Amino acid sequence: MPRPTRASELSPEQRATERAQARDVSLRRVGALFTAHKRPLFVVIAIIVASSVVGMASPFLLREVIDVALPDQNVGLLVWLVAGMVGVAALTSAMGVVQTWISTRIGQEVMHRLRTDVFAHLQRQSIAFFTRTRTGEVQSRITNDIGGMQSVVTSTATSIAANLTTTVATAVAMIALSWRLSLISLIVMPPAIYLSRKVAALRRAITAQRQRELADLNVTIEEGLSISGVQLSKTLGTSAALVDRFTRTSERLIDLQLRSDLAGRWRMASMSVIFAAIPAAIYLCAGLPATRGGMTIGTLVAFTALQGGLFRPLTSLLNVGVSITSSLALFARIFEYLDLPVEIDEPAEPVLVDPDRIRGDVRIEDVTFTYGSSDTAALAGIDLTVPAGQTLALVGETGSSKSTLGSLMARLADPTAGRITIDGIDLRRFRLADLARIVGVVSQETYLLHTTVRENLRYARPDATDEQIEAAARAAQVHDLIASLPDGYDTMVGSRGHRFSGGEKQRLAIARTLLRNPRVLVLDEATSALDTATERAVQQAFDELARGRTTITIAHRLSTVRDADQIAVLDHGRIVETGTHESLLEGAGRYAALSA
């Protein structure tokens, strides 16, 4: 099993790309995530401002206690001042609870929107995207990256408002008490800001690297613990290698997490020393004749309390800046997915049709298709007509692009040139939901969900009744099998349907397709992996499925297409022969050679 690229093995170009992505994340775009919550945010900010202003009363009440109430032994005043201090604490605490509830709700709603937007946008991506992207990588973006942003999204805005308001209010109160001592307290600001910026840059780089390792860990879990992955590792004897790969990735995560948590700690430790030295400097200045300025003991105590309360929100504010900067790597990864172009999108002006009234006349008109930036066309100049209710078989050697043409019929990709129409309407003019009802696909790779048989069938048509589900299963010749299961239609199929054989899964897929009742049917080598006896049973189900429908059968075994109304032979993406089974055999061409 191939080992994923380690973070340390990224090329300079890849690392430069990731740095550019993190740099290009606009804080305005991050802020736009909160635009739908302007009113509750305003309420939160109002509560924060009010709480900060109310909280500033405590030092002044303390000064009055020390300078007036205690020296004068004014018990009445002392009671009122003490009651005021308790009231301020109770009021600010109550405001804090309300503010936390509102801000957390806002953050969770933003997280919900991010998750659903990414999931919905990825659902719109073409098959080509998922072909070139690791499944574990996609899962990691939705879970680890968005999860890693949670603390920033849920608390950053309110933390900035709270700490900024508290810092400003505290600074104003300190200046009101003593502008001379305030100058001494604020000299710590420039070095604190400088060191915080250094720490933020360091943590951002570590965060990007940590998320890549988490994605690798997800890939290992997804590949190594799925049914297919476990079977592969056991049959190839690679379990020990998988465990080793997982262990090494997990060990790298330990190192990265430690580096992230400890990044800049020595710098912040130096700031703590400076913060601790400031009160000593204040006491010294308060005792010097030149700077004392008639300061009372109450003023000094109140100022020291304010100064101690200033560094806490100031430090928190700087730490928020560190968190925002380091989280830009996460936002970059999420926005990268949200900015992916949608290759197969809804038409700007769709043709509104009733899928049940479509006849199923199919025309493939001079279709050419090229993968990505390839110079060689996978399909070139394909012209075919399939009247409603008739059968077209596509045959050819492996690599002749039969399945590619089938994927164009379901609009899993769009032709590079030419067009495909149903009842004269270009496939690109149908709404995607309508096209999915018109064109049904049964492929060799049958995917079953890890749920009950009933829900697997109902997945194709959520409003289907139990009677309709059973009728579809009977038509697909799989009802008797389901009825023999321990829980019948409520039996769990297991991961990817591994409890069923290939033929049984195919018949379940046929029943699922029957529920949708498509007018055009694409059968993509749906029996190529089955033994002869199973193929015969599945073919009978296919015959029932194809009755009255326009059917395009992609086949490797020619025995399954001999009764087709029309057979087209493909070779390197071009049609080299067309005709019926008998006429093509008589022509002694490529089809006859394939039959030999």
For the chain, the residue count is 596
What are the domain boundaries of the chain?
A: 19-338, 355-595
- Buried residues in 469-485 as b, exposed as e (16+ CB within 10 A): bbbbbebbbbbebbeeb
Given a contact cutoff of 8 angstroms between Cβ atoms, the answer to whether 185 and 218 are in contact is no
Amino acid at 334: I
Greatest pairwise CA separation for the chain in angstroms: 123
Q: What DSSP designation does 262 have?
A: H
571 has which bridge partners?
574
Strand order of the β-sheet with 362-369 is 379-386, 362-369, 417-422, 425-426
pLDDT value of position 14: 43
Q: What share of the chain is helix, strand, coil (3-state, %, to 5)?
A: 65, 10, 25
Token pair 């605490």 is found at: 93
Contacts of 98 (CB under 8 A, 6+ apart): 47
In DSSP notation, 390-447 reads -EEEEEESTTSSHHHHHHHHTTSS--SEEEEEETTEEGGGS-HHHHHHHEEEEESS--
CA-CA distances (angstroms) from residue 140 to 113, 118, 216, 217?
Answer: 17, 12, 9, 9
In degrees, rounded to 5, the angle at the alpha carbon of residue 262 between the alpha carbons of residues 256 and 267 is 140
Distance CA 124, CA 408 (A): 16
Torsion of CA 590, 591, 595, 596, to 10 degrees: -30
Class of domain 19-338: mainly alpha
Q: For the chain, which residues score pLDDT lower than 50?
A: 1-23
Pairing of strands 391-396, 417-422: unpaired
Q: What is the pLDDT of residues 522-554, one digit of tens each?
A: 988 766 656 666 667 667 777 777 778 899 988
Q: What DSSP designation does 575 have?
A: E
Given a contact cutoff of 8 angstroms between Cβ atoms, the answer to whether 514 and 506 are in contact is no
Q: Is 285 helix (H, G, I), strand (E, B) or coil?
A: helix
pLDDT value of position 408: 93
Instruction: Report the CATH number of the 355-595 domain.
Output: 3.40.50.300
pLDDT value of position 3: 43
Enter the tokens of residue 239.
């379990």
The answer to whether the pTM exceeds 0.85 is no
Given a contact cutoff of 8 angstroms between Cβ atoms, the answer to whether 318 and 190 are in contact is no
Given a contact cutoff of 8 angstroms between Cβ atoms, the answer to whether 181 and 286 are in contact is yes
